[in-house]
Amino acid sequence: MAAVAQNSSFVKALAENPTLKSIPSQFTFATDSKGSQSDSLPIIDFSLLTSPNPDQRCRVLADLDSACREWGFFILVNHGIPEKLLKAIIASSLEFFELPEEEKRRYEAKSASDPVKSGSGSLINTANQRVHLWRDFVKSYVHPEFNCPTEPHTLRETLQEFSGKTRPVFRKLMHAIEENLGLEQGFVDEALKLDSCFQLYAANYYPPCPEPDQAIGIPAHTDHGLLTFLIHNGVAGLQIQHNGEWFDTFSPQNAILVNNADHLEILSNGRYKSVRHRAVVNTEATRISVVMANGAAPEAVVAPAPALVEKDGRPFYRPMKFIEYVETMLSNRLLGKSNLDCIKIQDE
Ligand SMILES: O=C(O)CCC(=O)C(=O)O
Ligand SMILES: [Fe+2]
C-alpha cells in the first residue's frame, strides 16, 4: 500500500507527485494486461468506398464485412479528415486536462444525463470494492445538440469541426454496412434517424503509472452506439479482444481506429458483435485518446433490422430508445455488467 493520499478527484495530480513510487491501494486492479501482436488487424481504405472501379469497391466492401464480422474493429485510412484537425483536437483535449483543478471540477457529473462531464471514474468490482481507474476524462454530447466545456477556449471550434467532419465518414460507413447486411438502401438513415445522430466526444488522459500491471486505464467493456472512432497521441494502450485473446492495436499516422459498438450488434441481430476492449497504462509516457461515439438519434428506438429478423426467424435483442440505453450505461458503475446482456433475448 502506498503512503500517498489522493486529495484530488483527478489522477493527473496524483501521478505528478514526485514521491509516488507505487499506486494507492484503491487503484489495484488485478488483471493480466499483456497483449498479443497481430499483423492481420484489418485496414480499411475509406476512399475506395467511392471508387468508380466496381471491383475495387466490391473488394473494400467485402473487407469491411469481414472486419465487422470477425474482429469488430478496423483501422480506417484515407478518410479525408485533415491531419491538422486530428492534431488540433488532441492538443485542445490536452489543454483541458491541464486546466486548474477547480475549473475541471465544474464538470463533475451530478447525473448521467449531464451533457458535459469530467472526472476520473471508478467502478465497483464483483467483490463489491470500489476500483479507481488510472485515467481522467472529459465527455460532452456534441450532436444533435452541441455542448462543450467553456475552457480551454480553443476546444469549442475544434470540437465543432471535428464533429462535423466525422459525421459524414460515420454515415458513409453505415451505408456500406447497410449494403453488406443486405438491407434496403436508405433503411439505416430512416430507422436510426441518422440526420440527428447522437455523437459523444470523450477525451481520456492516462498519466504514467508507477505500477502499470497493477492498475487499469479502462477495464474491458463495450461501447454504446453504432461505431466508435478513436485517435490518440501516438502512445499505445488500446487493446481489443479477439477469439478470447487480448491484442495490442497500432495505428499508422493519421488513421482512425474504429470499433463495432452495442447498437450495431443489435441492428445486425448479432452478426456484427460489439467488440470488448480496454485501455492499459505504462510507466513512461502520458497517453491521450480522443473518442467519438457515433450512434442513432437520441429518440430513435433501436431494434434488430426486420429483414434480418425475418431471415433469422426471431430477434435476439429487445428494442430500446437510444438515449435510454446510453444513460443507463453511463450510470451503471458495475464492473463486468453489460447493458447489452440485459436486452439480449435468451434462448427459450
Ligand atoms: O483510450 C482508449 O484507447 C480506449 C478508450 C475507450 O475505450 C472509451 O473511452 O470508451
Ligand atoms: Fe470504449
Residue range 198-204: average pLDDT? 98
| Strand ranges, E, within 5-95 | 43-45, 73-77
Cα 237 to middle of ligand 1, angstroms: 9
Q: What is the residue with the minimal CA distance to atom 7 of ligand 1?
A: 278
How many other CB atoms are there within 10 angstroms of residue 266's CB atom?
A: 27
- Cα–Cα dist 320/302, whole Å: 6
Q: What cell was used for 123?
A: 467502478
Ligand 1 neighbours (beta carbon < 6 A): 202, 204, 218, 223, 230, 237-238, 277, 279, 289, 291
Quick one: pLDDT at residue 234? Answer: 96
Residue 292 Cα to ligand 1 midpoint, Å, equals: 10
- The predicted model scores a pTM of 0.96
Identify the band that residue 348 occupies on the pLDDT scale cut at 50, 70 and 90: low
Indicate whether 198 pLDDT > 80. yes
Q: Is 119 left (phi over 0), alpha (psi -120 to 50) or beta?
A: left
Strand, helix or coil for residue 224: coil
139 within 8 A of 204, measured Cβ to Cβ: no
Residue 313 CA to ligand 2 centre (angstroms):
31
Give the residue from 128, 135, 118, 26 showing the smallest Cα distance to 333: 128
Sequence spans of domains, the chain: 31-343
- Tell me the pLDDT tens digit for each residue of 151-179: 999 999 999 999 999 999 999 999 999 99
- Which residues, chain by chain, have CB under 5 Å from ion ligand 2? 223
Mean pLDDT of 135-139: 96
Q: What is the pLDDT of residue 3?
A: 37
Nearest CA to ligand 1 atom 8: 291
Instruction: Give the distance (Å) from ligand 1 centre to CA of residue 222.
Output: 10
What residue spans of 43-117 are helical by DSSP H? 54-66, 83-97, 101-105
Spatial separation of the C-alpha atoms in residues 82 and 156, rounded to whole Å: 17
pLDDT the model gives residue 2: 35
The complex's ipTM works out to 0.99
Q: How many CB atoms lie within 10 A of CB 71?
A: 21
Mutate to test the pocket of ligand 1, among 11, 256, 277, 332 (most ligand atoms within 8 A of CB): 277
d(CA 241, CA 199): 24
Contact 42, 62 (CB under 8 A): no
What 3-state DSSP class applies to 302?
Answer: strand
More confident residue, 138 or 39: 138
Query: What distance in angstroms lies between residue 19's CA and the mean position of ligand 2's atoms?
Result: 31
Query: Which residue in 215, 292, 285 sits closest to 259, CA to CA?
Result: 292
Distance CA 98, CA 122 (A): 21
Task: Judge: domain 31-343, CATH 3.30.160.100.
Answer: no
Query: What average pLDDT does this structure show over 175-203?
Result: 98
What are the residues facing 310 on neighbouring strands?
none
Measured in Å, residue 266 CA sits from the centre of ligand 1 at 21
Q: Supply the residue whose CA is at minimum distance from atom 10 of ligand 1.
A: 223
Average pLDDT over the chain, rounded to an integer: 93
Q: In the structure grid, which three cell numbers stand for residue 281, read together? A: 497504462
Backbone angles phi, psi at 221, to 5 degrees: -160, 170
The pLDDT-based confidence of 113 (bands split at 50, 70, 90) is confident
Ligand number nearest CA of 235 is: 1
Which residue's CA is minimally distant from atom 1 of ligand 1?
A: 289
The mean pLDDT of 284-293, rounded to a whole number, is 97
Per-residue pLDDT band for 333 (boundaries 50, 70, 90) equals low
> Does residue 268 contact residue 187 with C-beta atoms inside 8 Å?
no
pLDDT in tens, 36-46: 999 899 999 99
